Amino acid sequence: MQAEPTNTQAETRTTPQPAERPASLVGEEYEVEVGPVAHGGHCVARTSEGQVLFVRHTLPGERVVARVTEGEEGSRFLRADAVEILDASKDRIEAPCPFAGPGRCGGCDWQHAKPGAQRRLKGEVVAEQLQRLAGLTPEEAGWDGTVMPAEGDKLPAGQVPSWRTRVQYAVDENGRAGLRRHRSHEVEPVDHCLIAADGVSELGVEQRDWPGMATVEAIAATGSQDRQVILTPRPGARLPLVELDRPVSVMRVDEKDGGVHRVHGRSFVRERADGRTYRVGSGGFWQVHPKSADTLVTAVMQGLLPRKGDMALDLYCGVGLFAGALADRVGDQGAVLGIESGKRAVEDARHNLAGFDRVRVEQGKVEAVLPRTGISEVDLVVLDPPRAGAGRKTVQHLTTLSARRIAYVACDPAALARDLAYFRDGGYRVRTLRVFDLFPMTHHVECVAILEPAAKSR
């Protein structure tokens, strides 16, 4: 039998102490030479000790003073803002937006860069992601390296295209509308967002007080005069009387279930693309640039070259944009199956595509629904997955369906590159890649990759 410890023995026992947290480096400043652009709206630099800095508000080749905004001693990398420009790039301009800059609004990444430089930087990011994650050069991806602006967006330096047809304003505790600061919940009050579409700006959201609201989302449809605001109240708050400068429908987000409910007016807006009108319910996905839908449909259809009688899949189909375009082109002898996880989006898609007898839309996650369909062969596939991409499992399934061509629409070049590597493993190669600057002033791009069986190119 083991003896009980004596008091002396008990006293000598020590309680493990938590490891001391590394010292924060927030606020520290470093004079650095700025290196290449990186995915995420920043450039890469290194401190004199070799620690990596991801620096916003700068451009490659500049020498700046970078102030740390996130990170601590021993961190793999630090985040920082360029707070003083010592040697400026020839591509630098004064930011047109008065709310842009270190510690200010986080909605835009490249207000300080000439428009052509922005597109060049985005192209460098896409090329880097393709090489690093898929082992593809631009030539191997069938891409000439250019990033194309949308129609009407090619403007002189200092001018900003007003393109964003859906803007979610955050509301501070004083009821002032604004936008979030970068990687922060803090609100930067604004009196005018330069990238907001004219239809959003004309509502006058920024000029009103919004007591008790957490967010106010303003939507200006491209294909109609429909205008809508979606209000998210703070817990326990009552809706204000909404009086804006244009007729508008009002919706509210329920604090209990997160659902979007109609207060007055239509519960949807009408958008138009490829010669068709689409109903998009509250919270439903639609491209935010007024030229995006037509630009992407054109790129996808030119890449796929649908034929009469084709069987096609539209995965992550939303309200049916690509399914409608495919249905028009494959004709009465063809068929289209759409798969979408959002319940309201599926309702809208079925409404939008009701005129096509051979179009079906199923609700559920693609990775779960597609195997259950029993489909073993198709002619064409369109997939427009969320930012995270389609993933290995879904791609592997698609490579077994013997599709003649696959169109992959991507809003994130890293996710696209990962999935292209999975397609290559399944026997598909990239035939062409097109990159579009549908989010000017931000680091985001939209890509359309057309794939075909690798054996076909031999």
Active centre residues (catalytic)? 411
3-state class of 276 per DSSP? strand
Can you tell me the distance from the alpha carbon of 152 to that of 128, in angstroms, rounded to the nearest whole number? 28
Q: Determine contact, residues 412/387, Cβ cutoff 8 Å.
A: yes
What are the contacts of 168-172 at 24+ separation with CB within 8 A? Answer: 168/215, 168/216, 168/217, 168/218, 169/205, 169/206, 169/215, 169/216, 169/217, 169/218, 170/214, 170/215, 171/210, 171/213, 171/214, 171/215, 171/216
Q: Determine contact, residues 160/99, Cβ cutoff 8 Å.
A: no
Lookup: tokens for 81: 């803002």
Number of residues written out for the chain: 458
Q: Determine contact, residues 233/239, Cβ cutoff 8 Å.
A: yes
Other Cβ atoms less than 10 A from the Cβ of 227: the count is 22
Residue 49 has, within 13 A of its CA and on its CB side, a CA count of 9
> For 272, phi and psi rounded to 5 degrees?
-135, 135
Cα separation values, 19 from 15, 16, 22, 77, Å:
12, 9, 9, 21
Strand partners, 151: none
Can you tell me the distance from the alpha carbon of 268 to that of 271, in angstroms, rounded to the nearest whole number? 10
Can you tell me the distance from the alpha carbon of 105 to that of 201, in angstroms, rounded to the nearest whole number? 17
> For 313, phi and psi rounded to 5 degrees?
-115, 140
- Closest to 449 in 3D by CA, of 429, 424, 436, 430: 430
Q: Determine contact, residues 55/63, Cβ cutoff 8 Å.
A: no
Would you put residue 116 in left (φ > 0), alpha (ψ -120 to 50) or beta?
A: alpha
